[in-house]
Structure 1
Amino acid sequence: MILNCLNCKALVDAQEISNYKNDITDIDDYQSTSYDCNELLSTYEEYTFLKCPLCWKPFLTYLIYNNDYGHGSDFRKLKFITLYPVSDKTINSEVSISIKKAFDEALCCFENKIFTACVIMCRKAIEGVCKEHKIEKGNLKEKLILMKKEGIIDQNIFDWADALRLSGNDAAHDLDVTFSLEDAEDIIEFTYAIIEYVFTYREKFILFIERKKSKNSLLTHDTDPATEK
């Protein structure tokens, strides 16, 4: 099984150690006018323990299958998740659900080696950051220029986006453009960085400045002779 080893920072052919399957019964899955309601949909989940062949670090994966309403043994995958190791990219709870969802989907695409889709979802997350700050007109480059002018991002963040070609035209949507593992990984790092910068570091800095101003105002009031009786 090809998995992304966070320790080796590479896709590796993980070696399976052990696994087990668990049958799932969900009555909602069986209610269909196309099938006899008494016919059970054979569905199961599989947990697999593996190791990286390079560094021997472990993996734990989760996979859910069903056989598409009784079509013999022709099972199809419904969902695949790497339960361990997990990405260290935890989004601030203050970030809107739409941005979190786009970024989570980008990580999921990367995990499943769908790199171009990963880049598209990263762009969607960045567009969401712009929208949260009422910057919605123009292409992504124009939006990021406005973000920089308004002090929402700094020059380094803008230059980083420019170097990744994220601030150019919609290249990610061009059918002739594909993205590699390295491309997707770089863009995920940037997307996480801009989200953290805008919603964590910048917000903390703004709160710090406000507290400092409030504290200085109180000190000035307390020591100003004009305020004494």
Structure 2
Amino acid sequence: MVDNVTIHCSECGVLIRTDEKTSFIFESLDYDCSEKYLISQCPSCFSVLFGRKTLTLDEVERQFVWKTVAERLWPDPLLSEVPSEIPAKARQDIIEAKKCFSYEIYSAAAVLCGKALERLVKEKAGNHTIARGLQELKTNQIIDQRLFDWGDALRKERNIGAHASDEEVTKDDARDIIDFTIAIFDYVYRLSTKYEDYMARKNKNI
């Protein structure tokens, strides 16, 4: 029996339902952490897709079953670009934003990114709006001028961080906001840490 899978096609830009061509199950000691890796093909554009399924509890049958929707790992993985160094709650916001993007819920993706940015501002600059927080981050040299200009432009042109708005959030808007959110978190939490570690080692050897 061939299993079906729902997966996001990077070429078509939509969720598609197709057959699993082949699959491999990685069994964990924690049963519900087991994963299924699979290869499928889009029935419309014939793109080959590599994805991963996880287990979920079927409340009716009271047993674990494979989720119908798979996370796409190749090409252009949707989630793997979110650095692990980002604080857990903000990272989850960004992951959820990328999931919303894959389901074409662009307004929700923008709001979730705004939520993540509010967390960043609160931790690094205090209880400020995103606008004032970005200014504080630049003044304190936590971000550079390019990141500030990018964020300020998005805030003005695309209402980044809005919780409710009559303005439509397009696919390009959502992509730009997600890209910026990942970039600023990557800069603050990963690149800065690597630089500080390097300088500490360098000064130690002097």
Common fold: TM-score over 0.5:
yes
Instruction: Kindly indicate whether the alpha-carbon contact (under 8 Å) linking 1:160 and 1:190 is maintained by their aligned counterparts in 2.
Output: yes
- The question of 1:91 aligning with 2:79 is answered no
Question: Aligned partners of 1:58, 1:84: CA distance in 2, in Å?
Answer: 7
2:133 paired residue among 117, 123, 143:
143
Verify: 1:179 aligned to 2:169, yes or no: yes
Question: How does 1:41-52 map onto structure 2 within 5 Å?
Answer: 49-51=40-42
Q: 1:58 aligns with which of 38, 49, 63?
A: 49
Q: CA deviation at 1:62?
A: 5.6
Flag the 1:90–1:168 CA change in 2: closer, same or farther, 3 A: closer
| 1:58 aligned counterpart, secondary structure | strand
Please give the root-mean-square deviation of Cα atoms over the aligned residues, in Å. 3.4
Q: Does 1:154 align with 2:144?
A: yes
Count residues with an aligned counterpart: 176
- Are the aligned partners of 1:5 and 1:12 in contact in 2 as well (CA < 8 Å)? yes
**Matching of residues 103-118 of structure 1 within 5 Å:** 103-118=94-109
Q: Is the 8 A contact 1:15 1:50 kept in 2?
A: no
Normalised by the length of structure 2, the TM-score is 0.69
- Assess if the C-alpha contact under 8 Å between 1:140 and 1:168 holds in 2: no
Task: Give the % identical residues.
Answer: 27
Letter aligned with residue 18 of structure 2: E
Which structure has the higher relative contact order (CA within 8 Å, separation 6+)? 2
C-alpha separation in 1, matches of 2:198 and 2:51 = 41
* Deviation for aligned residue 1:5: 3.4
- Residue identity matched to 1:121: L
- The answer to whether the 8 Å contact 2:7/2:71 transfers is no
Alignment of 1:1-229 (within 5 A): 4-6=8-10, 8=11, 11-12=13-14, 14=16, 16-17=18-19, 49-51=40-42, 53-54=44-45, 56-58=47-49, 60=51, 81-85=69-73, 86-87=77-78, 88-92=80-84, 94-133=85-124, 135-165=125-155, 172-216=162-206
